[in-house]
Amino acid sequence: MMDDRESVPINLHSPLFQSVASAFPLVPLQDYKEKINVPGKPPAAFICPSHPLLDATIHLILQRYRDLLKQGAILVDENDPEEEVRSLVYLEHAIQDARIDPNGKRRIISQRMQFVELVGDRAIHAGYAPYLDYRPLNETEQALIPEILEQLSGEDFEAQAKRYAVTQLVPAHLEEVKQQKEALIDRTIAAVKERLTKEIVYWDGRAEKLRLDERAGKPNAKLNSALAQQRADELQSRLTRRMAELQQERQISPATPLVVGGALVVPIGLLLRLQGKRQSQPALFARETKRVEQMAMQAVMEAERRLGHEPIDVSSQKCGWDIESRVPNSQHLRLIEVKGRIEGAETITVTRNEVLAGLNRPESFILAIVQVPKSEEFAEGDVFRVRSTSGGDNEATKQTGSRKWRSDLAGKRCVFGV
């Protein structure tokens, strides 16, 4: 929290940041709901996206350290038992319309970071913040860097990631923005036309009446026909200009994705082998894991259908949950993260992204845990659901969690602590 005697650093007072105040009495960085209004203290400033202080700080950090993103990093995925090193590429992508900003460039209406993971010749969308589920190499593992680098294929990762983004991610981003903007523009056009047309008709009529009065020798001392007609003409010009602006807003197009950084993602399975700790063949482990995951998904999808819901598998979209299940005749969407575990397993693992998804959408998020028999014959399995976390929310977001689960809770609602 910024002390009330501290001021904003002087380097945030450049001409680029004219809207940044000279000081902020209090800036709550955590538990902000309780600290916005503290007795005996000035009201705290709520720092959020688009706040001038936050925008200026991000700008300066990127100005100084953006090159570090291109230098890259080596991260560890503790949830991947396989041995193939992946490349994580960060891209920045923008959608623009035909309006021109003060710098003479087309105005950006949507901008986002996109993450692509490359495994051999395959590329996948890695979700919105995949790095949150990874960790850096520890001191012991850093000695393995030369052996890790030997696993690389020498592919042009940037070009491969760009191709995937252009063909897969950019069209989805463009379509999403188009749907939102076109609906808004249609409503705006209708509202502007209705309001300005009424005013134009009013002032046209008023000007005509004043002209008739003037011809009859009854001029209005406060308003003459010329001034009334001028107002009508100004409103018509304003309508024409606004319609042209809205048509420019409708001309939406994607910019070229820009690669801003990257990292190598090392599966824990590879580190275990290089350290001589591998206990099972990765291919066998992966096949069994896939079987369990598929059966768990089938069980939860079937359970949702029995409830009359309409489930859709979104696991490939990396959005923090596996299933979106729509409740008929309502706007409610159930967001279900599925955890399948082989019979006899004592723990489940919830990633940081999954925890954050649950905390951000507590009214909709469900953690469904499925116990899968070791036998290949599998009808449904035991399913129980988790609706909330226990313990402190701040602690829950700090790391991936593995906790024991009780098989006697099958079919019951319970609380899962991370």
Predicted confidence (pLDDT) per residue in 310-361, tens digit = 999 998 888 889 999 999 988 789 999 999 888 777 778 888 888 888 888 8
CATH 3.40.1350 in the chain, residue ranges: 280-417
* CA gap 305, 300 in Å, rounded: 9
Confidence band, pLDDT 50/70/90 cuts, at residue 95: very high
| pTM given for the model | 0.71
Instruction: Give CA 289 to chain center in angstroms.
Output: 28
Predicted local distance difference test score (pLDDT) of residue 316: 82
Residue reference for tokens 């598998």: 313
Instruction: Give CA 265 to chain center in angstroms.
Output: 21
Q: What is the pLDDT of residues 48-93, one digit of tens each?
A: 788 888 888 888 898 899 888 888 899 999 988 888 899 999 999 9
Predicted local distance difference test score (pLDDT) of residue 401: 45
For 7, 45, 135, 379, 396, the CA distances from 54, given in Å and listed in that order, are: 14, 11, 26, 52, 25
Mean pLDDT of 251-268: 94
Encoded tokens for 325: 């299940």
Q: Is the pLDDT of residue 399 over 70?
A: no
Q: What is the pLDDT of residues 109-139, one digit of tens each?
A: 999 999 999 988 889 999 889 999 999 999 9
Q: Is the pLDDT of residue 408 over 90?
A: no
Q: Is the pLDDT of residue 150 over 90?
A: no
Predicted local distance difference test score (pLDDT) of residue 188: 96
Which stretch, 14-18, 45-49, 121-125, has highest mean pLDDT?
121-125
Q: Is the pLDDT of residue 247 over 50?
A: yes
Predicted local distance difference test score (pLDDT) of residue 379: 46
Q: What is the pLDDT of residues 167-223, one digit of tens each?
A: 999 999 999 999 999 999 999 999 999 999 999 999 999 999 999 999 998 888 889
* % pLDDT > 70, the chain: 78
Q: Residue 99 contacts by C-beta under 8 Å, 6 or more apart in sequence?
A: 106, 107, 245, 248, 249
Q: Which of 336, 390, 403 is nearest to 367 (CA)?
A: 336
| Intra-chain end-to-end CA distance of the chain, in Å | 27
Predicted local distance difference test score (pLDDT) of residue 26: 57
Predicted local distance difference test score (pLDDT) of residue 238: 96
The mean-pLDDT minimum among 195-199, 232-236, 395-399 falls in 395-399
More reliable by pLDDT, 345 or 248: 248
Which stretch, 19-28, 149-158, 213-222, has highest mean pLDDT?
213-222
For 12, 236, 238, the CA distances from 208, given in Å and listed in that order, are: 57, 16, 21
Q: Is the pLDDT of residue 159 over 70?
A: yes
Mean pLDDT score of the chain: 81
Predicted local distance difference test score (pLDDT) of residue 292: 85
Mean pLDDT of 369-389: 59
Predicted local distance difference test score (pLDDT) of residue 416: 34
Architecture of domain 280-417: 3-Layer(aba) Sandwich (3.40)
* % pLDDT > 90, the chain: 44
Surface-to-core class of residue 280, CB atoms within 10 Å of its CB (0-12 exposed, 13-18 middle, 19+ buried): exposed
Confidence band, pLDDT 50/70/90 cuts, at residue 405: very low
Predicted local distance difference test score (pLDDT) of residue 417: 32
What sign results for the dihedral spanned by CA atoms 127, 132, 138, 142? positive
